[in-house]
A and B are shown apart, each in its own frame.
Chain A
């Protein structure tokens, strides 16, 4: 046997090509869609592989990636379905790529099994879900926020999930970078939970100078560390390092070798996978607070809905009402502590969402006061009036 080259691909990848190309955009402003912006953010984050399947309202992410990835020495491939797309993403990651896919409801449903595979194998990757109105084919071109619970519990078995919800085109860019960084930090799939409204609206964004962007590189093994246990978040290996790694979605020991019958092995593995995220809930939590200092009433919102919600908040404030808003950016893991703290002082919480009250029930679990859902479905975002009128009794 010869020894072969054992250089990790992550280290040999041409980062100069990437930085040279992206520096053309750095520091400039553009008028673009959320879908396009999330793609550029991903390129900034170092994504060099995209596998996908077209679906409204997420197709523009694939379109930008197919046009731009070649310029940064990366690869776009179009697969035969969304199951194959996420499969290819995970395969590419173990071969050394930073990889992502983008889809919407029907495709996201197809991805659920492999999302669990990515959780179980601790594969860092990013899945963009630009939510559209379901169930099933639903209103194919219309936005919704109906996948909030699917993002949390879509795949089977015990697990934790990281999901981020941008509410502006700029934030799509910023959170794409954040999503890749969190995926590497926690060695887990991260969902960018957009909605069709944010995905398709056009706004001004500024792409920052590359040096101002913090990018978390993959933590690779340096010696013979175990890659599926030992540390709470073990270092990764990749194919071709001469480690002869064994990667499996079956229950496995710290070495990666399958052990599907020992209760303690499964408990140790799955508990660690959950704890590495749940225990870092506060470090992962990102939110925005508005007028909460003296608030008796609290609006909790996220994604596109947070924009008319902010309008309703301003109107109520102008009328002297003591109301504030918590805009969730991290939806999962759920910022339990923050919601507990706010609701301890509040009289009522209002939760406008483009679904029939999915996150509002989660909020109820951690609230000490009444939680009032302000739902709207049908593919049209709430108006300011609808949210304002829904805040009864303030």
Chain B
């Protein structure tokens, strides 16, 4: 018996140890991009030889949030819709020695939770955000998101979207994040490298991962399979360096991929700690012992 178990364990993929076995197989739909993101995340952690016990995954509500919750084997906080970043902020302030990773969807992070995203970027708190952008509210069945391109019909914009979508990675870069990149589920190797960069670089790191949702999005634009989406990413992706030389007209319909920002900026929890040490050293501040009445 033990022998057989050993053999079965050996046949298993080396990344299998990063998954919570009791919850497999995943609930993702056929062709969904979430499995690719999970794969890249596990690879990135493995190649960095990180101890999963030093990672805390924090997620919101949505299909993308299910990538670590419950599938990734590590401490996991599955929070309320839109709020994983502030939950992670509290955890990071208390445990600055841990690596805080937020994985969630575009609806979660820039729809309902957009305010938290830009404030975390502004603070430059050492949290790694991997945002899966499928241009739609996937879990609830395909409603209009702030990322849905103009004109696209969704279940709540049946006559086509009249809004303008967000360019999220650019927004987060402008808000002050120390590392920002955009990749797609087609670009698995650069995405893995980018995740490694994000995981090791101090400060707020944000990767927008364009990903496919064949069931709730692709279906509505005539791309019913995951492969068609990957094909589109392959054909429309433009590297950031090339994009810098292109006109807005030339960039229409393209996905700009690559590193969009990298800057050195002091980090929030480190600043907090330094300030607290100084305050204690100086014994500074008002204190009611001064206004004691006995």
For the complex, give the distance between the alpha carbons of A68 and B290 in Å.
Answer: 14
A71 touches B285 (CB 8 A): yes
Q: How many residues of B contact A (CB 8 A)?
A: 51
B275 touches A240 (CB 8 A): no
Question: In the complex, which of the residues A75, A84, A246 contacts B94, with contact meaning CB atoms closer than 8 Å?
Answer: A75
- Cβ-based interface call for A79 (8 A): yes
B95 touches A75 (CB 8 A): no
Q: CB-CB < 8 A to A93: which residues of B? A: 90
For chain A, residues 93 to 127, give those with C-beta under 8 angstroms from any C-beta of chain B: 93-97, 99, 113-114, 117
Given A87-B90, A91-B87: A80 and B115 interface contact (C-beta under 8 Å):
yes
B51 touches A91 (CB 8 A): no
Given A2-B51, A73-B276, A258-B70: A49 and B291 interface contact (C-beta under 8 Å):
no
Interface string of A59-92 (1 = CB under 8 A from B): 0000000011011010101011101110111111
- Cβ-based interface call for A265 (8 A): no
- Cβ-based interface call for A204 (8 A): yes
For chain B, residues 76 to 106, give those with C-beta under 8 angstroms from any C-beta of chain A: 76-80, 83, 86-95, 98
Q: CB-CB < 8 A to A71: which residues of B? A: 279-280, 283, 285
- Cβ-based interface call for B286 (8 A): yes
Q: How far is the CB of B72 from chain A (nearest CB, A)?
A: 9
For chain A, residues 214 to 245, give those with C-beta under 8 angstroms from any C-beta of chain B: 239-240, 242-245
- Cβ-based interface call for B264 (8 A): no
For chain B, residues 271 to 290, give those with C-beta under 8 angstroms from any C-beta of chain A: 272, 275-276, 279-280, 283, 285-289
- Cβ-based interface call for B116 (8 A): yes
- Cβ-based interface call for A292 (8 A): no
User: What are the 8 closest A-B residue pairs judged by CB atoms, nearest first?
Assistant: A91-B90, A88-B90, A87-B86, A92-B90, A84-B86, A95-B94, A91-B87, A248-B78
For the complex, give the distance between the alpha carbons of A243 and B286 in Å.
Answer: 42
A contact patch SS? mixed
Q: CB-CB < 8 A to B276: which residues of A? A: 70, 73, 75
Interface string of B244-287 (1 = CB under 8 A from A): 00000000000000000000000000001001100110010111
Q: CB-CB < 8 A to A204: which residues of B? A: 293
Q: CB-CB < 8 A to B232: which residues of A? A: none
Q: Which residue of chain B lies nearest to A24 when distances are taken between CB atoms in the complex?
A: B289
For the complex, give the distance between the alpha carbons of A32 and B293 in Å.
Answer: 10
Q: CB-CB < 8 A to B77: which residues of A? A: 91, 94, 239, 247
Given A28-B292, A240-B53, A257-B70: A84 and B285 interface contact (C-beta under 8 Å):
no
Given A71-B285, A94-B77, A246-B76: A239 and B98 interface contact (C-beta under 8 Å):
yes
Q: CB-CB < 8 A to A81: which residues of B? A: 115
Q: How far is the CB of A116 from chain B (nearest CB, A)?
A: 8
B93 touches A49 (CB 8 A): yes
For the complex, give the distance between the alpha carbons of A248 and B98 in Å.
Answer: 20
Q: CB-CB < 8 A to B286: which residues of A? A: 67
Q: CB-CB < 8 A to B115: which residues of A? A: 80-81, 84
For the complex, give the distance between the alpha carbons of A32 and B95 in Å.
Answer: 33
Q: CB-CB < 8 A to A91: which residues of B? A: 58, 77, 79, 86-92, 94
Question: In the complex, which of the residues B22, B54, B294 contacts A257, with contact meaning CB atoms closer than 8 Å?
Answer: B22
- Cβ-based interface call for B47 (8 A): no
B51 touches A87 (CB 8 A): no
A28 touches B289 (CB 8 A): yes
For the complex, give the distance between the alpha carbons of A99 and B93 in Å.
Answer: 12
Q: CB-CB < 8 A to B49: which residues of A? A: 1-2
A49 touches B90 (CB 8 A): yes
Q: CB-CB < 8 A to A31: which residues of B? A: 291, 293
Q: CB-CB < 8 A to A16: which residues of B? A: none
Given A30-B293, A31-B291: A250 and B90 interface contact (C-beta under 8 Å):
no
Interface string of B50-75 (1 = CB under 8 A from A): 01111010100000000001100111
Q: CB-CB < 8 A to A247: which residues of B? A: 76-78
Would you mind naming 11 contact pairs between A and B with Cβ atoms under 8 Å apart? A71-B279, A84-B83, A87-B79, A87-B116, A88-B86, A88-B89, A91-B86, A95-B95, A239-B77, A244-B73, A249-B79
- Cβ-based interface call for A150 (8 A): no
For the complex, give the distance between the alpha carbons of A33 and B10 in Å.
Answer: 66
- Cβ-based interface call for B119 (8 A): yes
Apart from A51-B86, A87-B86, list 6 A-B contacts with CB within 8 A: A1-B52, A4-B54, A25-B289, A67-B286, A95-B91, A245-B76
